[in-house]
Structure 1
Amino acid sequence: MKFLEYTPLARLNAFLNNVNLGECILKGSLEAYSCKAAGNDRKLSRSLEQEVLDYLVQYPDNNSSSPVGPLCNTASRRTLIHLILTMNHIYPDYDFSIVQAHNFSKECGLNVVKQKIENYLIESEKVWTMENGGDTPFLDSIWKAIDEVIDLSNCEVYSYMPEIEGDPFLERGAVWSFNFFFYNKKLKRILSFSCCCLSKLAIDYLSHNEMLSDEDNIFEGMDMD
């Protein structure tokens, strides 16, 4: 997998890095990757492929369908592996090897995905307009950039919902979050669009608790007599 640099995405990421919505902070990112595996990715791909095949031997009744397609199908397994590799690149300090097909959902229709994302980001439009002017609306800028990178008309879209505590996609203090992956098999390219809305009160509360915990650790083991 190789990170792909695109100026339109960089501009959007600079804005999405910290959007002040009043009582909440919105943080998001758009990252594009080539699916051509090399080096460690190729080694991990083979390992993940073998794990899936072993699973199918052990549980043959569960191979008929999954969100990425029948796992007995090579193309479906490749889709799953590409999604996992992409997440590993987004968070290189975290290992997503344990993620399985059921951790993803295949979205039914691009228009449905657009509506979901736009419902989440509607309040950010006002902030974008104040910072960048009203020539190109925020949501239009997003879809134009994504289409330029991934060709929306030829994409499959998957969503990922983190389930395990410690998963970096699972933001503490999040009011809401989404994690979509736009996958163009023909271009051999994946674009990740992740976003979360964090409550300022929750952030302050968590920061306060962490500060108290750090203070406790400082004095732990010290003789206070």
Structure 2
Amino acid sequence: MKFLESSEMDVFSQTLVTGAIDCVIDFKLETYSSKMVTSEKKQWKSNDKSVIWGERQPLGSYEEMVMSASPSVGHNHRLRHLSERSCSGGSDNDFDVNDYLIKDSISRKKLYDLTQVLNCSFPDHDFSNANSEAFALVNYSDLSRLVDMKLETIVRDYHVRREELWGIIDEAIVPGDCQIYSFKSQFEDDPFTEDGCIWALAFIFYNKGLKRFVLLTIRCLSKQADTSIEIFPDFSEDEAEPQEK
């Protein structure tokens, strides 16, 4: 898949990060084409020939992921059943019908695509062996409510910026026409569980009609954490240098 540059996403991410309160924020909002590049085609074809693209594997529980990532969400806050059609809000023609005929499961091909999005965004880590239960279908209204709740506590004047965030996402991927997956880390050595990471959220939007993914990840890091991430430094004109993806 190919990373699709967006200056609007880049500028918003920088603005959000620089408003951090008593922490360091690693915020990613990125768009990817779902079309396989040559290397991915070769990698997929090299898999066990007995593997069927449409073979189903079980998804994880989003309720459990929310409780572990966000203790402040009480048990009396009922999340919708995330296998319902309301998790997307789109029409029947927008999706793989099998994703609704067989609830709470995912095809091997879709699982491969989701892990590739994470691999592209975090090239220093390898998510290729993440199993299907690391992912769960999520309802967009629950996702946006959780993200707003978490960002309100760590971003200065987030209430001024929240409409811009969801406007950018709506324009890029049309959430109502998407399948949306949350990701829960299963590893000790990845960006979501490394030392200094206080909490983390990760979501992948997939719009079949647009042949596109949007990745939204948020990591709240301790100021004392020894981290090598680049938090959009400001350069003077004399010191200006290109940012690396």
Match of 2:190, SS?
A: coil
Q: 1:66 matched to which residue of 2?
A: 59
Asked if 2 retains the 8 angstrom alpha-carbon contact of 1:175 and 1:196, the reply is yes
TM-score normalised by length of structure 2? 0.66
Q: Aligned runs of 1:121-160 on 2, under 5 Å?
A: 121-124=151-154, 126-127=156-157, 137-160=160-183
CA 1:27/1:94 → structure 2, altered by over 3 Å: closer, same or farther?
Answer: closer
Q: 1:44 matched to which residue of 2?
A: 43
Relative contact order (alpha carbons < 8 A, sep ≥ 6): 1 or 2 greater?
Answer: 2
Structure 2 counterpart of 1:158, which letter? Y
Q: Aligned runs of 1:127-206 on 2, under 5 Å?
A: 127=157, 137-201=160-224, 203=225
The CA distance in 2 between the partners of 1:96 and 1:124, in whole Å, is 28
The CA distance in 1 between the partners of 2:198 and 2:205, in whole Å, is 24
TM-score normalised by length of structure 1? 0.72
Asked if 2 retains the 8 angstrom alpha-carbon contact of 1:48 and 1:81, the reply is no
Q: 1:105 matched to which residue of 2?
A: 136
Q: Which protein has the larger Cα radius of gyration, Structure 1 or Structure 2?
A: 1
CA 1:166/1:110 → structure 2, altered by over 3 Å: closer, same or farther?
Answer: same
Aligned length: 186
The CA distance in 1 between the partners of 2:123 and 2:50, in whole Å, is 21
Kindly state the Cα deviation for residue 182 of structure 1 after the two structures are TM-superposed: 0.9
Kindly state the Cα deviation for residue 106 of structure 1 after the two structures are TM-superposed: 1.2
Kindly state the Cα deviation for residue 27 of structure 1 after the two structures are TM-superposed: 1.9
The CA distance in 2 between the partners of 1:64 and 1:179, in whole Å, is 20
CA 1:93/1:125 → structure 2, altered by over 3 Å: closer, same or farther?
Answer: closer
Q: 2:230 matched to which residue of 1?
A: none
Aligned-residue sequence identity (percent) comes to 29
Asked if 2 retains the 8 angstrom alpha-carbon contact of 1:17 and 1:29, the reply is no
Moved more, 111-120 or 40-49: 40-49
Asked if 1 retains the 8 angstrom alpha-carbon contact of 2:59 and 2:134, the reply is no
The CA distance in 2 between the partners of 1:159 and 1:43, in whole Å, is 27
Please identify which structure carries the higher helix content.
Answer: 1
CA 1:65/1:6 → structure 2, altered by over 3 Å: closer, same or farther?
Answer: same
Kindly state the Cα deviation for residue 25 of structure 1 after the two structures are TM-superposed: 2.0
Asked if 2 retains the 8 angstrom alpha-carbon contact of 1:103 and 1:160, the reply is yes
Kindly state the Cα deviation for residue 88 of structure 1 after the two structures are TM-superposed: 1.3
Kindly state the Cα deviation for residue 95 of structure 1 after the two structures are TM-superposed: 2.4
Unaligned runs of 5+ in 2: 61-82, 84-98, 228-245
Structure 1 counterpart of 2:110, which letter? T
Unaligned runs of 5+ in 1: 57-62, 130-136, 208-225
CA RMSD between the two structures: 2.9
